[in-house]
A and B are shown apart, each in its own frame.
Chain A
Amino acid sequence: QKEVEQDPGPLSVPEGAIVSLNCTYSNSAFQYFMWYRQYSRKGPELLMYTYSSGNKEDGRFTAQVDKSSKYISLFIRDSQPSDSATYLCAMSGGAQKLVFGQGTRLTINP
């Protein structure tokens, strides 16, 4: 079993929809949780960074962490075609050793 599980999709939604992306993990030592966005043939870019449990909002993006369930989510409101990309969850226990999920490929249809 992988430390971090993420549904690879693909996920296709119409423009303007709310998108929900999720990851589960098994290592209870994880404290730092991140979401990266990766466009085709580009490197991942950091989207959201949260510590421990709770919510964090940045514009149209909201990250949620539920440590009791070992479950993290990323919500995208008013999705745009430019949000079409692969979204990678990543987490670490503080030793800077980031463990990534498989990535979810998302397409927003105009």
Chain B
Amino acid sequence: EAGVVQSPRYKIIEKKQPVAFWCNPISGHNTLYWYLQNLGQGPELLIRYENEEAVDDSQLPKDRFSAERLKGVDSTLKIQPAELGDSAVYLCASSLGTGELFFGEGSRLTVL
């Protein structure tokens, strides 16, 4: 069974440019998460989806970040415009709703 797939794995952009990350969760997993992981820190939740509904986006900086999960499967996380402090790893995870999360390998963003 395929795991959580994320792309791109690495992205380097200039500040003020837009960037988007894509996530394909494990088939059948109705819960999808986007986490932010800074260097030397644990993951921090940005947004959690139950099917198509964003049920927890309290930590998502909505002035520049947006996310969507069309048809309750794939998800996209967008940053526009990117700032230097956005350099981090963006992790996508999915679960069956049991609390056991399965993570992708992450998308590493560098903002110059």
Contact = CB atoms under 8 A, between A and B. Distances in A.
B97 A43 contact: no
A27 B53 CA distance: 27
Interface stretch (A13-21, A61-69, A75-83, A90-98): A90-98
Interface string B73-112: 0000000000000000001010101011111111010000
Interface of A: 4, 6, 8, 32, 34, 36, 41-46, 49, 88, 90, 92, 94, 96-98, 100-103
Interface in B30-63: 31, 40-45, 48, 56
Contact of B103 (A8, A44, A102): A44
Contact of B40 (A36, A43, A45, A102): A102
A45 B106 CA distance: 12
Contact of B44 (A44, A92, A100): A100
B4 interface: yes
A96 B103 contact: no
Given A43-B4, A44-B91, A49-B100, 5 more contacts: A6-B42, A8-B40, A44-B103, A97-B48, A102-B40
A82 to B, nearest CB: 18
A32 B100 CA distance: 10
Interface of B: 4, 31, 40-45, 48, 56, 91, 93, 95, 97, 99-106, 108
Given A43-B4, A43-B106, A32 B43 contact: no
Contacts of B108: 41
A92 B91 contact: no
5 tightest Cβ-Cβ pairs between the two chains A and B: A100-B42, A43-B103, A43-B105, A44-B103, A100-B43
A101 B106 CA distance: 18
Nearest to B43: A100
A97 to B, nearest CB: 6
A46 B40 contact: no
Contacts of B102: 45-46
